[in-house]
C-alpha cells in the first residue's frame, strides 16, 4: 500500500501536466478530426490510410452536424476540445470560429501551393477545398424552348425566365445564403432587394434546401424549373453518376451570380498533439489527398498542383470572378441581410 500511495500523486501530476499543457510530447496512436456530416459520410478505410502508413497515426472522424453545428460545438468545448483538428468551417461561419480563438495558428508546408486569395493571412486556418455556388440550367429545356441561356442576372427578371427559376432560402440553406450574398455583390446594397422584389413578382420559386431545388424542382428531374441554384461541380456529377455513358453534361453553369465558398481546416487549441495535428493538416493539403477531393466530395482542391479529374475538365467551368465576402463582413451583416430578404420575399 505504501508504494501505491507514493506512486499515485506522481501519476496524477503527470496526467495533469499532459492534459493541461496542450503540448504533450510523443506521437499519439489516434488523432481525432471533427467535421460536418457530409464529409464524414464519405470517409472510408482508404481516406486516411496513406497518412496512417506514413505516420503510424490512426484518424478518428467525428461527425458534428452541418457547418454551423460544427462550429458551435467547437466553440462550446474550446477549453476541453472534442478533437485535435477541425475540418469544414467555411466563410459563413469562419469569423465566429476565429473570434472565439478555437484554432492554434499553423502554417502548412504546402501553403505556397495555394492561391493567396484562398489563404488566411494569419495562418489560423488552412484552405482545403473550394466550391462555386452557381445557377445550373437544363440544356434540353432551353433547346426545346428555343431560348437563349441568360448570361446576366438582370435577364432573369423577364417573364420568360423568372417563373422557371428556383432558389434556396438563405436562412435554411448554405447555397441559398451564398447566392443571396452574390446578389448583394452584383447589385449593391441599394439595389439588391429590388432584384429580389422583381423576381418574386415574376414568379421565382423558393425552396428550403438544395435537395428540393435540384431533385424536385429542376426540369432535369421532372420539375418545372429549368434554372436552379446549385454548384459548378454539378454538371460533372451528372456525367459521373449517369446510368448511360454521356459525352456531354445535360446541365450547364451560368457564371453570373456565382459565389465561392472555401472550406478550411485548423489545429484546435487545447490539443495535446499540436505537431501531429499539423501533420494531418499537411496531409489534407497534400497533392495525394487533394486529388481525391473532386470525385469524393465534388468540390475543387485548394492545392493548385492537384490534377482535376477529366470529367471536371470537360464538363464544368471555374468562374473567373466569383463573389466573395470577408468572414467579418458576413458575420456583421448576415442576420440583417437575411431579415431584409425575408421581409421582401415573405412579406
Could you report the average pLDDT of every consecutive run of 10 residues in the chain (347 residues)? Answer: 39 40 70 93 94 97 87 92 95 88 96 95 95 97 96 94 96 90 97 98 95 96 97 95 93 96 96 96 98 93 96 92 91 94 96
Rg (C-alpha) for the chain, rounded Å, is 23
21 CB neighbour count, 10 Å cutoff: 11
Q: Do 276 and 223 reside in the same domain of the chain?
A: no
Q: 109 in a domain, yes or no?
A: yes
Q: Do 53 and 119 reside in the same domain of the chain?
A: yes
Q: Do 89 and 122 reside in the same domain of the chain?
A: yes
CB distance 157 to 202 below 8 Å: yes
Q: 11 in a domain, yes or no?
A: no
Q: Do 66 and 86 reside in the same domain of the chain?
A: yes
Q: Do 46 and 111 reside in the same domain of the chain?
A: yes
How far apart CA 317 and CA 298 sit, in angstroms, is: 13
Q: Do 30 and 109 reside in the same domain of the chain?
A: yes
Cell 453534361: give the residue. 249
Q: 9 in a domain, yes or no?
A: no
Q: Which pTM was predicted?
A: 0.83
Q: 5 in a domain, yes or no?
A: no
Q: Which of 234, 42, 230, 39 is nearest to 129 (CA)?
A: 39
What is residue 331's predicted lDDT score, i.e. its pLDDT? 87
Q: 10 in a domain, yes or no?
A: no
Q: Do 195 and 212 reside in the same domain of the chain?
A: yes
Domain of residue 75: give its range: 18-130+262-310
CB neighbour list of residue 225: distance below 8 Å, 6 or more residues apart: 164, 165, 166, 205, 213, 217, 218, 219
Buried/exposed 109-128: b ≥16 CB within 10 Å, e otherwise? ebbebbeeebbbeeebbbbb
What is residue 25's predicted lDDT score, i.e. its pLDDT? 57
Q: 184 in a domain, yes or no?
A: yes
Q: Do 41 and 62 reside in the same domain of the chain?
A: yes
Q: Do 201 and 303 reside in the same domain of the chain?
A: no
Q: 6 in a domain, yes or no?
A: no
Q: Do 114 and 249 reside in the same domain of the chain?
A: no
Q: Do 66 and 167 reside in the same domain of the chain?
A: no
Strands, E assignment, the chain: 30-35, 58-63, 85-90, 103-104, 126-138, 165-168, 205-207, 227-231, 251-268, 300-301
> Which CATH number covers residue 216?
3.40.190.10
Q: Do 111 and 168 reside in the same domain of the chain?
A: no
What total number of domains does the chain contain?
Answer: 2
The alpha carbon of residue 90 and the mean position of all alpha carbons in its chain are separated, in whole angstroms, by: 5
What is residue 24's predicted lDDT score, i.e. its pLDDT? 55
Q: 304 in a domain, yes or no?
A: yes
- Degrees, nearest 5: CA angle 93-99-104: 95
Amino acid at each position: 500500500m505504501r508504494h501505491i500511495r507514493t506512486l499515485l500523486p506522481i501519476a496524477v501530476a503527470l496526467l495533469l501536466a499532459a492534459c493541461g499543457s496542450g503540448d504533450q510530447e510523443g506521437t499519439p496512436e489516434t488523432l481525432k478530426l471533427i467535421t460536418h456530416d457530409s464529409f464524414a459520410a464519405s470517409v472510408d478505410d482508404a481516406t486516411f490510410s496513406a497518412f496512417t502508413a506514413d505516420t503510424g497515426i490512426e484518424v478518428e472522424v467525428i461527425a458534428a452536424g452541418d457547418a454551423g453545428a460544427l462550429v458551435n460545438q467547437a466553440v462550446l468545448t474550446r477549453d476541453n476540445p472534442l478533437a485535435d483538428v477541425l475540418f469544414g468551417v467555411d466563410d459563413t461561419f469562419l469569423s465566429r470560429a476565429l473570434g472565439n480563438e478555437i484554432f492554434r495558428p499553423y502554417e502548412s508546408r504546402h501553403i505556397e501551393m495555394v492561391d493567396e486569395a484562398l489563404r488566411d493571412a494569419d495562418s489560423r486556418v488552412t484552405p482545403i477545398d473550394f466550391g462555386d455556388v452557381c445557377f445550373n440550367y437544363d440544356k434540353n429545356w432551353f433547346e426545346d424552348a428555343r431560348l437563349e441561356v441568360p448570361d446576366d442576372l438582370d435577364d432573369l427578371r423577364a417573364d420568360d425566365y423568372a417563373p422557371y427559376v428556383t432558389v434556396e432560402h438563405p436562412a435554411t440553406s448554405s447555397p441559398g445564403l451564398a447566392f443571396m450574398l452574390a446578389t448583394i455583390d452584383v447589385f449593391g446594397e441599394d439595389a439588391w432587394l429590388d432584384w429580389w422584389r422583381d423576381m418574386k413578382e415574376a414568379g421565382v420559386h423558393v425552396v428550403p434546401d438544395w435537395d428540393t431545388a435540384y431533385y424536385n424542382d429542376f426540369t432535369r428531374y421532372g420539375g418545372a424549373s429549368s434554372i436552379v441554384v446549385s454548384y459548378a461541380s454539378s454538371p460533372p456529377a451528372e456525367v459521373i453518376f449517369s446510368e448511360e455513358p454521356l459525352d456531354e453534361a445535360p446541365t450547364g453553369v451560368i457564371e453570373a451570380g456565382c459565389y465561392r465558398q472555401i472550406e478550411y481546416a485548423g489545429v484546435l487549441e487545447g490539443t495535446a498533439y499540436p505537431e501531429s495535428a499539423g501533420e494531418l493538416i499537411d496531409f489534407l493539403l497534400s497533392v495525394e489527398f487533394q486529388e481525391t477531393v473532386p470525385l469524393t466530395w465534388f468540390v475543387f482542391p485548394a492545392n493548385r498542383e492537384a490534377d482535376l479529374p477529366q470529367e471536371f475538365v470537360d464538363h464544368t467551368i471555374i468562374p473567373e470572378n466569383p463573389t466573395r465576402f470577408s468572414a467579418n463582413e458576413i458575420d456583421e451583416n448576415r442576420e440583417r441581410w437575411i431579415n431584409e430578404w425575408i421581409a421582401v420575399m415573405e412579406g
